[in-house]
Amino acid sequence: MDLLFLIGIVLFLLGLMASIGLHEIGHLVPAKLFGVRVTQYMVGFGPTMWSRRRGETEYGVKWIPLGGYIRMIGMLPPRAGDDPGKVRSVSTGPWQGLIENAREVALEEVRPGDEDRVFYRKPWWQKVIIMTGGPAMNFVLAFVLFAVVLMGFGVTVHKTEIASVPACVKTAAQYAANPECTAADAASPAAAAGLRPGDVIVSVAGRPAATWEAATRAIRGSGAGPVQIGITRDGQPMTVTATLIAQDRESLDEPGKTERVGYLGVSPKQVIEKQDFGAVVVHMGDITSRTAAALLRFPEKMVGVWNAAFSGEERDKDGPIGVIGVSRIGGEIAASDAPLENKAAVFVSLLASFNLAIGLFNLIPLLPLDGGHIAGGLWEGVKRGFARVTRRPEPAHVDIAKVLPLTYVLAFTMIIMAGLLMYADLVNPIRLAG
């Protein structure tokens, strides 16, 4: 195996571990600020590789680098009949939480003086802040990493200037067989219209085209037939008429799907441009909405993963991918022939996207995810607010452990999906190229 490929895998795993560590710091810092006793801060799960105690908290690293957790005393309120000197212990990490829930949540001693340092006694808003801190840290980290890529490295921008005009139209199979144009190949609409490299597209069908995307959408939307293309050539405005043809192309709005669109046959000039802060905000908003939409389609996408794993179908490049798969992509980035700066930009962008996905996934309002605890805190706030308004006695603390049967269902589902992703990433991985 290529040494650079291995280095890429290791670097991504280190970046993932750092992201997990920062996620748990997002829980740890507000927990300590609000006076909750935190007994453990761990990156990974399983047997302990290394640990050290500082004050009342044990800090350490576990052998399995697929999660992390902090353990706060009293995350769940006591049940009727429980020993008043003990509280149920559960952790923030989903995998560690699953393990503890599976053994019906161990009891942990409450030391003298710690009665008000248990998590469940804290005001609902403090609980929400503590549990939101982890995903929020992932969002901050994703934003910072995207800022490094967009503002530091820059991104490829497609200009409206034409870089190349193919002489003919070929399918992928025809091009693979013979990239040269022959008398049997039809001339491309752009070449037939007299378009040349260096021409700048300014309008399509009378509509201004300030960006390459706008020009592309206008050309696609025009369908087959004649269309007027406004250009500037050597600084002089002019209009040419191109007879577009219909082709099946990948959808701009739904990657992976094809649609019948108008085809001109030109390629844009590409330049690397550093973006401003506003572009980072727009990019973060756009990719967050797309990632959230992908999570909503997660069960549907897992069907495609199953088919890819057991039927040999091509993996959906926008479908789910596990730690093994994304680490493998990190290896492909490192082993590619791209310039070092390009490798670094793609690598950082990949880590940013993974952080964003982790943050959104953890907000799902189900145990053992952070979102389940957040939902419990918000529900407690609603109940207590309603009691104050109606002058009723203050209700008991919300016991989110009452939904443990649902947690077990989710746990089983998560284990199955994680195993399926792991298998698919090994036998039919998503690759950077191809």
* pLDDT tens digits for range 360-397: 989 988 877 889 889 989 999 999 999 999 989 888 88
Query: What average pLDDT does the segment 285-290 reach?
Result: 92
Residue 395 pLDDT = 87
In Å, how far are 27, 121, 191, 407 from 40, measured between CA atoms? 12, 19, 67, 23
Chosen CATH of 156-273 out of 3.40.228.10, 2.40.50.100, 2.30.42.10, 3.40.50.12280:
2.30.42.10
pLDDT tens digits, 248-261? 888 887 776 888 88
Residue 368: cis peptide before it, omega within 30 degrees of 0:
yes
> What is the torsional sign of CA 18, 414, 419, 255?
negative
| Domain boundaries of the chain, sorted by first residue | 156-273
Catalytically active residues are: 24
Torsion of CA 24, 93, 402, 89, to 10 degrees: -80
| Best-predicted range by mean pLDDT (32-46, 242-256, 312-326) | 32-46
Give the model's confidence band at 398: pLDDT under 50 very low, under 70 low, under 90 confident, else very high.
confident
Give the bridge partners for 240, in sequence order. 229
Residue found under tokens 């490049």 = 317
**Is the per-residue pLDDT at 320 higher than 50?**
yes
Residue 261 corresponds to which tokens in the numbers above? 């669109």
Residue 198 clears pLDDT 80, i.e. is over it: yes
Buried b (16+ CB within 10 A) or exposed e, 85-94: eebbbbbbbb
**Distance (Å, rounded) from C-alpha 267 to C-alpha 134?**
43
pLDDT digits 0-9 by tens, 77-132: 776 666 656 655 555 655 445 444 443 444 566 677 777 888 888 999 999 999 99
The mean predicted confidence, pLDDT, of the chain is 84
Q: What is the pLDDT of residue 104?
A: 46
pLDDT of residue 103: 39
- pLDDT value at residue 91: 58
Could you tell me which of 69, 63, 77, 75 has the C-alpha nearest to residue 40? 69
With left for phi above 0 and alpha for psi between -120 and 50, is residue 234 left, alpha or beta?
left
d(CA 355, CA 140) in angstroms, rounded, equals 9
In the prediction, which pLDDT does 172 show?
Answer: 67
**How much is the CA Rg of the chain, to the nearest whole Å?**
27
